[in-house]
Amino acid sequence: MATISAAMVKDLREKTGAGMMDCKNALNETSGDVEAAVDWLRKKGITKAAKKSGRVAAEGLVAVLVEGTRGVVVEVNSETDFVARNADFQALARDVAAVALKNGGDVDAILADAAPKGGTVQEAISNAIATIGENMTLRRVATLAVGQGVIGQYVHGSAGDGLGKIGVIVALESTGKAEELQALGRQIAMHVAATSPLGLDSSSIDPAVVEREKAVLADKNAGKPAHILEKIVDSGLKSYFKEVSLLDQSYIHDGSKTVAQAVKEAEKTVGAPVALKGFARFALGEGIEKPEEPDFAAEVASMSGNA
């Protein structure tokens, strides 16, 4: 077998824009022949995928998959909403969710794992990029599991079974009736989709977020005596937690009770204690900075001297 040097890998990367490991594999497959390696990458569709990798992918699908007491939600991005309606892309999102359910929540591990239709998940994504013609990425994954109970699920803006714009899973731990737990889990998942809580309870909210809220409350009431300011901040935080902590939120299906109270009340029909152990909510493209669309009218006006 030919010795593959770092310089050879670097040269192939510069020629094709493909990733380091892809270049190394190509050189190994072609006994160090750079031009043959270029063709190998082209046949695999990897060079085409590499050229598209710089494009912003903020559309796509959120996929939810639940099996027994385990569930997963993944976000697979594309460049346009049109691709989300493509049957091949939808199949890819489902395949990724299936691998994630087995593998766990580490994106790198999922990409390196075997895809259901052969090759790795990363290769499956690269092949889809080459076939469909848009950049695609596996952005994030979240998993939940319980020893006994159910994983409730809800998908909003459905594009197919388990696919949509918002995906939610919730973990309910209980020895009660599975059918009743599933119904409760779906109701709570719908609530999470609508309200986007920051944490299960106040203690699970990022301390940095809490400190920022404290600072805002203190700034709003600057100049007040210290003992009064402390009470104002404490009161403000309690109100804040009612807005962003899932268990403390007003239940969207019955505003007269909190989510915690609704879960407690549901124990009567479930037939056993119920503990809401966690949730995961993905909204498609949240947090991705999209490029501004060009103002063609302004450009034309500028070129004609009418701006």
CA angle 178, 96, 49 (to 5 degrees): 165
Answer whether residue 305 is part of any domain: no
Alpha-carbon gap, residue 35 to 241, rounded angstroms = 61
What's the order of all strands across the beta sheet hosting 163-164? 137-145, 70-78, 59-67, 163-164
What is the domain range of residue 194? Answer: 59-203+245-283
Say yes or no: 32 and 108 in one domain.
no
Q: What is the pLDDT of residue 223?
A: 83
Give residue 239's identity as a one-letter amino acid code: S
Assigned domain for 63 exists:
yes
CATH of residue 92: 3.30.479.20
Same domain, 109 and 232: no
Amino acid at 117: K
Is 171 found in the same domain as 41? no
Number of domains in the chain: 3
Output the pTM of the full model.
0.75
Q: Alpha-carbon distance 80 to 56, whole Å? A: 10
Question: Does residue 89 sit in the same domain as residue 102?
Answer: yes
Structure tokens at 260: 């915690």
Looking at the structure, do residues 108 and 25 belong to the same domain, yes or no? Answer: no
How would DSSP label each residue in 47-95?
A: HHHHHHTTS---EEEEEEEEETTEEEEEEEEES-HHHHT-HHHHHHHHH
For residue 85, tell me if it sits in a domain.
Answer: yes
Residue 29: CATH number of its domain: 1.10.8.10
> Dihedral angle at the C-alpha atoms of 19, 163, 99, 75, nearest 10 degrees?
40
Structural domain includes residue 297: no
The mean pLDDT of 235-258, rounded to a whole number, is 94
Shared domain for 122 and 249, answered yes or no, is yes
Q: For 166-220, what is each residue's pLDDT tens digit?
A: 999 999 999 999 999 999 999 999 999 999 999 999 999 999 989 988 888 888 8
Cα(237)–Cα(201) distance, integer angstroms: 13
Q: Which residues pair with 77 in a beta bridge?
A: 60, 137
185 and 69: one domain? yes
- Per the domain annotation, does 303 fall within a domain? no
Q: Could you tell me if 18 and 148 lie in one domain? A: no
Is residue 97 domain-shared with residue 128, that is, in the same domain?
yes
38, 171: one domain: no
- Residue 258, in any domain of the structure: yes
The verdict on residue 296 lying in a domain is: no
Query: Is residue 301 one of the residues assigned to a domain?
Result: no
* CA atoms within 13 Å, Cβ hemisphere of 172: 34
Handedness of CA 201, 203, 206, 211 (dihedral sign): positive
Q: Which of 200, 171, 197 is nearest to 184 (CA)?
A: 171
Which residues 6+ apart lie within 8 Å of 54 measured at CB? 135
- 273 shares a domain with 139: yes
> What's the mean pLDDT in 42-51?
58
Instruction: Verify that 136 and 271 share a domain, yes or no.
Output: yes
pLDDT in tens, 103-137: 887 899 999 999 998 889 999 998 888 888 888 88
Q: 159 phi and psi, to 5 degrees? A: -115, 5
